[in-house]
Each structure stands twice: as C-alpha cells, then as structure tokens.
C-alpha cells in the first residue's frame, strides 16, 4: 500500500500563492481516477471565487497547510488519512494562534 502512495506537491514549501498550489495538488490527485469518479473528485476541490478572499493572510496560511501536508492516495483521488490528519492539525494550530492574539 505504501508504495502506491504518491506525494503530489507539498514538500514543506509554503511560499507563493498557496491557494493556487493547493487546488493544483488536489486536482492532480484526482487525475489518477477515470470517468465519473475523476469528474466528481475535481468538483469536490474547494475553490474560492473571489481572488481577494483567496489571497487573505489567513486563507493563504490555511492553504499552506494543505500544500505542506498533502499526500495523494491515487486509488481514491483524495489525501491519505495521515495526510488529511496532518492538514487538520496544521489548520487547528493556525486557529489556536489566531485566537490567542
């Protein structure tokens, strides 16, 4: 199973437009699927319609968590369970920092 897992981007670098990079790595993961599964997967990638909102500091930090911790499970087109957990913990850490300010 571990051999079938593919890292799709990430790599610990959260510089640049993390919103665009996060949606790209998620979309690339969906590309492992075919047909309707691929279409549905691509539709489930969360997108922000207002570029100004996507570029806010908190959203860029949130998407950096996705970029930095995303590991693709090509069989499902979604992040691995461990990857999803790491993303969640990163986002929760951001929220804790925001609340303590």
Query: pLDDT of 16-43, one tens digit each?
Result: 899 999 999 999 999 999 999 999 999 9
The confidence score (pLDDT) of residue 98 equals 78
Tell me the pTM.
0.78
CB 23 within 8 A of CB 47: yes
Q: Calculate Rg over the CA atoms of the chain.
A: 14
The confidence score (pLDDT) of residue 64 equals 97
The confidence score (pLDDT) of residue 15 equals 66
| Long-range pairs, 48-51, Cβ under 8 A, ≥24 | 48/19
């Amino acid at each position: 199973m571990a051999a079938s897992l593919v890292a799709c981007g990430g790599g610990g670098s959260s510089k640049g437009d993390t919103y665009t990079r996060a949606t790209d790595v998620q979309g690339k993961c969906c590309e492992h699927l075919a047909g309707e599964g691929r279409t549905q997967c691509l539709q489930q990638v969360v997108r922000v319609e207002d570029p100004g909102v996507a570029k806010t500091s908190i959203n860029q930090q949130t998407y950096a968590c996705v970029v930095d911790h995303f590991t693709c499970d090509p069989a499902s087109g979604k992040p691995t369970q461990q990857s999803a957990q790491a993303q969640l913990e990163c986002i929760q850490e951001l929220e804790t920092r925001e609340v303590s300010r």
